[in-house]
Amino acid sequence: MKSITVYASVLILLLSFPSLKAQDDAISLTLLGNVLLPVGPFGEKIGPEAQITRRFGFDYGKKVGLANTGFGMGAEIRKGVLAKNLAWVISAKCLVNPAEASKITSFFREVLGDTVDISFDFGRWINIPVFTGFYYSRGFGKSLSLYGTVQTGINITRQPYRRATVAGKLVEETTFKFTPDFGFEAGFGIELWKKYNLGVRYLNLSSPRYEGSRRLNEIFFTSIPKRVMNVDGDERPISMLMVFLGYTL
């Protein structure tokens, strides 16, 4: 039900784009390259409640994202609407943040002691926000414009896989499915010669509740109810600062 509501909301917004009364019929397309800086729990590398559970494997801490600085790319379409200097914008981006395993590895090596050769391997966060909203700019001469933008929509997201290995043997592997959720972004920047775009935006991509599966090794986790179990409702808040450089075609 939630995914249907998400998709329906964005579809309505996208369909409304060509119907808005435009002040300027010109449509501009900007390509973006992004550097992604995790903030809040998304960037924490271990949680305060990290522990080893006998029945369900490793717990890295509630809501921590383990995310490192990442990179992304995207595109924005803008069309003037309603008032001077105001544009309707539709954007899509692909954002990738690697997950950090070193602090988790150090923590559990200390918990288990030097006799247990344990290591962890994590994948990458993937977020694909498809947003729409408004873009307001103010020109200063022919070469410089300042702008602000606010957008909202859906985010298709997947949490990184997690693997734990002891003495070369895989003792835990957790994988996740893609899931939709809401999000928003707000930011500001400058345009030079109506071609180059440099700015900063804050992205809050909500707190998705991920589903997936976890496979455990019964030799290491001797009290597990079963080897493969479902992961249901693993909540991880996602927020980041996006610094980007764009080029308008």
pLDDT tens for 44-95 read 999 888 888 878 889 888 889 999 999 999 999 999 887 788 999 999 999 9
Asked whether residue 200 carries a pLDDT value surpassing 50, the answer given is yes
Q: Residue 219: its pLDDT value, please?
A: 87
d(CA 74, CA 225): 44
* Maximum Cα–Cα distance across the chain: 71
What token pair was written down for 142? 């022919």
Angle at 185 between CA 101 and CA 197, to 5 degrees: 100
CB 94 within 8 A of CB 131: no
Q: How confident is the model at residue 97 (pLDDT cuts 50, 70, 90)?
A: very high
Spatial CB neighbours of 240, under 8 Å, sequence gap ≥ 6: 36, 37, 38, 39, 42, 43, 67, 70, 95, 97, 202, 203, 205
Select from 202, 227, 195 the least CA-distant residue to 214.
227
Q: Provide the 3-class DSSP secondary structure of residue 192.
A: strand
Domain extents in the chain: 2-189+205-248
Neighbours of 217 (CB within 10 A): 18
Enter the pTM of the model.
0.88
pLDDT band at 141 (very low <50, low <70, confident <90, very high): confident
DSSP letter, residue 46: S
